[in-house]
Structure 1
Amino acid sequence: NEAPRPRKSRSLKIVQAATFDDLIASVIANALEHFAANWASLRESDAPESVHQLRVALRRLRSALGVFRKNLQLPELEDIRSEARRIASALGPARECDAFYANALAGPFREGFDQQRGASPLLDAVEARRRDSYTVARRVIDDPKTSLFVLDVQSFLARRAWRTALAPEKLGLLTSDAKSYAAEVLGRLRRRALKRGKHLPDIPDEERHELRIALKNLRYAVEFFGSLFDRSKELRSYLKSVADLQEDLGAHNDAATAKVFVETLGLPPDGDVQYASGYLLGWYRHATLVADSHLAKKWKDFK
């Protein structure tokens, strides 16, 4: 009688003899499965990880299609990416509430929000928004458009529709070695990340955000293609270093997002509530300073 649990992405195992054609099918199917596997959990529980994993699945799908579109110019592929983005955006407010609430309890209010003056009404306002956001999120999952999205991707896979995107003289790419293709992609994504982070940590927030996106795409590609290289221990270490960098780079964005989030809560002009809000935003600001102090070393280790 337990409620369905949120699910992370299934580890993708690609055989050494796989072709480019096989690779496309395996990666897209893996991301779609990850997305659909978390529907039941969102419908039947309030587990914050459900919304998070749904959004991660959609980002993974968009990232994979973004990689493949270098070789596949196909309107249907772009339609899938666009719809994935729309659904992820609709789920965003629920995730924003979960992240804010979790950070508040793990950080400034970790001793218990009842110990911090003004914290209770602040978090009550967050919880009220969270309930409304989850109602919207469940409507998104139950919307026929979302079911049609999944069916469209399944149809795309069943028809191997990407084959029609290649000119006759390029059809040989379909039977080319997946490992060689993966190595080229991983090298390209790594070079892009190194270029965007060349002057780290002395780059503005906008460029940090672009670097974070580049690292995220690199990490997803390593997760998708890593099994082709049979170096699991090294891959785990590499993925951890990339994830750590992403987290530190996201500190500035988290602080800016938290400020806007608090401003839009419609909090009463109560001194205690305003104090708690300021205390919380100060914690976010401090987190950016801590992240920046680690950034140079983590970037050096990554390079």
Structure 2
Amino acid sequence: MNNVLTKELCLSNIQNLTEKMLLDLLEDEKYSVIITDEQHLKEEKEVCWQRRKATLQRVVHKTTISIRHKREKISARLEIGTVNVEERVFSQCDLYISYTKKNIEQVEKFLGEVLKKSIFVLVEPNIWERASQLAGYYQPLISLRYQRDDIKTALDTHLFWQIFLINQGWVDFLCKPLERITLRQLRVKLRRLRSCLAFFKPVLEQPQASLWQTELRRQGEELSLLRELDVALMAIEKFSANTTQEELAQEYLAKILSQARAIEAKRVKQKMQLATLTFTFARLIMWLSDEPLTASCERYGLESFFRRRIREWSKNIISLTQRYPDFSDVEKMHKIRIKVKKFRYVMMSFPEINHNTNTMLRRLKKLQDMLGFLHDEYINKELAQRIMQADGSKTSLKQTVFCGWESAKTAEALAIVPDLWEDFCEDLELWRDTI
């Protein structure tokens, strides 16, 4: 049955091309386009919008098309129109591409050609659910595709919307690579999706799942130096110079770091092409839509899987005390930080397990913030060393600024981290017993 099940990708054209322009774009020497049906519709429906119900109205022109190449045929649809909800109006300029397990390879080839010609981004095919996602208040458990006690629908519901956000996050970053906030948000979205994929690891086919984890990690690593430079620049901005020498050193460092950031942003923008990224995320969605689950997952119900998996993760988190007992070791503390961050992303992403967690999550956030602060300080010092080695002039001035960075706070943080860890683990054990 899965062989004939038809699914859809939806690509929104950022340039808001007209229908004729899109049709012209789709047709070339390789592909011919035949219009098979047209409809002009006015629709409205109640949707969840910013924590309340609202009426979404849509005026849309739907054009069903058949895309042909030799003996191959791909079904597609254009939807051009406007959507109005709560006095907010946004345009719809979408290309829907239908695919089955049998023609995924043909669809990928066609998609690769289309993405070379105009700027597209993946979006939620269901316009009603897309509205909730745009409002920033998407509720997976009331999604139309979600089914209680079905791991496959839970996988799709929890991961698809994150993929759409990351694809849009790359659009935002590549448009404004010098903005710190777009970079930070994109990195958070990438880490969250990686964490959620890791949570489902026991029921996902290998090595495909690991390869997708590697791809998401690669994207995050491309952005890591930019983030390090941003952290250093923010630290310099907070530093209060007490002397003219320190002020000059502060300005000198800010100039060096700003120049380095601009160069790195240009490198990332040139390397990370949006067409390639969108194509990659489309392939990820098609893989998730196909049969990514192992045969062993049939013995799990959704509820039992979530309960068993989070108990395993909780146990592993608690055991970190034995594996990395020395909190003064920066490398070991960084490993704890990564695992704690991954755990928090999972807890915040899955409402199925996020029950009676307020106290635990507050302590987890405080611990995560403190570990993050210490990690940033370590990165700043490493960066300072590289700068001083590269440029011998004004070394003493630079040393003054870097050594002054939050030194008292660093010592204080190192002293209280063990207590924060102990408090969190106590709450985690208590919560784990209630699952």
Given the two structures, how large is their TM-score scaled by the length of structure 2? Answer: 0.58
Aligned pairs for 1:125-204 within 5 A: 125-142=256-273, 144-159=275-290, 161-163=291-293, 166-167=294-295, 170=296, 172-173=298-299, 176-198=300-322, 200=325, 202=327, 204=329
Aligned partner of 2:292: which letter? W
Aligned partner of 1:180: which letter? S
Question: Does residue 224 in structure 1 map to residue 349 in structure 2?
Answer: yes
Deviations 1:61-107 (A, max 9, x none): 2222222222323222122111111111111111111111112223x
Q: 2:349 and 2:174 mapped to 1: Cα distance? A: 28
Q: Which residue of 1 aligns with 2:233?
A: 101
* 3-state SS of paired residue (1:192): helix
CA-based RMSD of the aligned residues comes to: 3.1
Paired positions, count:
285
Q: 2:218 and 2:136 mapped to 1: Cα distance? A: 21
Aligned partner of 2:380: which letter? A
Gap regions ≥5 residues in structure 2: 1-133, 426-435
Q: Which residue of 2 aligns with 1:249?
A: 371
**In the TM superposition, what is the alpha-carbon distance from 1:252 to its structure 2 partner?**
4.1
Further displaced range: 115-124 or 248-257: 248-257
* 3-state SS of paired residue (1:74): coil
**In the TM superposition, what is the alpha-carbon distance from 1:201 to its structure 2 partner?**
5.8
Equivalent pair of 1:101/1:123 in contact (CA under 8 Å) = yes
Equivalent pair of 2:226/2:261 in contact (CA under 8 Å) = yes
**In the TM superposition, what is the alpha-carbon distance from 1:122 to its structure 2 partner?**
0.7
Aligned pairs for 1:278-297 within 5 A: 278-297=400-419
Q: 2:369 and 2:208 mapped to 1: Cα distance? A: 33
Q: 2:334 and 2:224 mapped to 1: Cα distance? A: 17
Equivalent pair of 2:246/2:400 in contact (CA under 8 Å) = no
Q: 2:135 and 2:243 mapped to 1: Cα distance? A: 29
Q: Which residue of 1 aligns with 2:333?
A: 208
Distance 1:111 1:56, change over 3 A: farther
Aligned partner of 2:175: which letter? E
Residue identity (%):
18
Equivalent pair of 1:119/1:276 in contact (CA under 8 Å) = yes
Q: 2:245 and 2:174 mapped to 1: Cα distance? A: 31
Q: Which residue of 2 aligns with 1:3?
A: none
Aligned partner of 2:184: which letter? H
Q: 1:99 and 1:9 mapped to 2: Cα distance? A: 27
Q: Which residue of 1 aligns with 2:156?
A: 25
Question: Does residue 269 in structure 1 map to residue 392 in structure 2?
Answer: yes
Gap regions ≥5 residues in structure 1: 1-6
Q: 1:83 aligns with which of 212, 215, 229?
A: 215
Further displaced range: 14-23 or 241-250: 14-23
Structure richer in strand, relative to its length:
2
**In the TM superposition, what is the alpha-carbon distance from 1:146 to its structure 2 partner?**
2.1
Structure of greater relative contact order (alpha carbons < 8 Å, 6+ residues apart)? 1
* 3-state SS of paired residue (2:140): coil
Aligned partner of 2:277: which letter? T
Distance 1:9 1:124, change over 3 A: farther
Q: Which residue of 2 aligns with 1:62?
A: 194
Equivalent pair of 2:249/2:401 in contact (CA under 8 Å) = no
Aligned partner of 1:154: which letter? I
Given the two structures, how large is their TM-score scaled by the length of structure 1? Answer: 0.81
Q: 1:23 and 1:222 mapped to 2: Cα distance? A: 15
**In the TM superposition, what is the alpha-carbon distance from 1:230 to its structure 2 partner?**
6.6
